[in-house]
Structure 1
């Protein structure tokens, strides 16, 4: 998944450079992620019946994937081993939840 996210990011960077004369910074990618999280929040409200729409399940899946892509892209930008960090964090949470 990380390789695919990286490939898509590289293609976006090319489009951005052609359109804006430069690719987005990590800060701009983070701002885009915040927008995606806001969209995700609205879809979660939809699942709770507050903001219903016909394509809710598809839109929710799409937005979750968008958010995951942003996290993976930011991890790549900052040289974070996301798989390792996830494993370590889950191990830590397991210890806390086990009372160790």
Structure 2
């Protein structure tokens, strides 16, 4: 799956979540609530990273880590979509800037 397909898939899943939220809560989540969900996912990811370091072991660690990384990526794709950020372009330019900074040292 290429980046544009990932973005479209994330948008589709977000749209379905909005329908569920509207049915359950009478409205879909705000951008701020999506961000708070992302923060929760990052916290879950941090626990799994601790697990990889041996601090919080669990039987399904590799699967859980992959799942949580994907959850976090979905949130980033969703937030970029909401705010109209060309994430592929921003990633490319940011990596170019970092490469330049690292080459200059």
Q: Under a length normalisation based on structure 2, what TM-score does the superposition of the two structures give?
A: 0.94
Q: CA RMSD in A?
A: 0.8
The correspondence of residues 62-77 of structure 1 with structure 2, limited to 5 A, is: 62-77=67-82
1:8 paired with 2:13, answer yes
Map of 2:3 onto structure 1: none
Count, aligned residues: 100
Moved over 2 A (4+): none
Q: Does 1:93 align with 2:98?
A: yes
C-alpha distance in structure 2 between counterparts of 1:72 and 1:62, whole Å: 15
SS where residue 72 of structure 1 aligns? helix
Equivalent position SS for 1:73: helix
Alignment TM-score, normalising by the size of structure 1: 0.99
Gaps of 5+ in 1: none
The offset of 1:77, in angstroms, is: 0.5
Q: Distance in 1 between matches of 2:67 and 2:36?
A: 18
**Alignment partner of 1:33 is 2:38:** yes
